[in-house]
Amino acid sequence: MSYLYVFLTVLLTVYGQIAIKWQVLKAGALPEALPDKIVFLFQLLLNPWVISAFAAALLASVFWMAAMTRLQLSYAYPFMSLAFVLVMVASAFFFNEPMTPLKIAGVSLVILGLIVGSQG
Structure confidence by residue, pLDDT tens digits, 19-41? 999 999 999 999 999 999 999 99
What pTM was computed for the model?
0.90
Handedness of CA 82, 88, 94, 95 (dihedral sign): positive
Model confidence at 73, in pLDDT bands (50, 70, 90)? Answer: very high
Confidence band of 120 (pLDDT split at 50, 70, 90): low
Instruction: Produce one character per residue of 17-42: b if its CB has 16 or more CB atoms within 10 Å, e if not.
Output: bbbbbebeeeeeeeeeeeeeeeebee
Domain regions of the chain by residue span: 2-117
Mean pLDDT of 51-71: 97
Contact (CB, 8 A) for 50 and 23: yes
* pLDDT, the chain, mean: 95
Helix axes 2-27, 82-95, angle to 10 degrees: 40
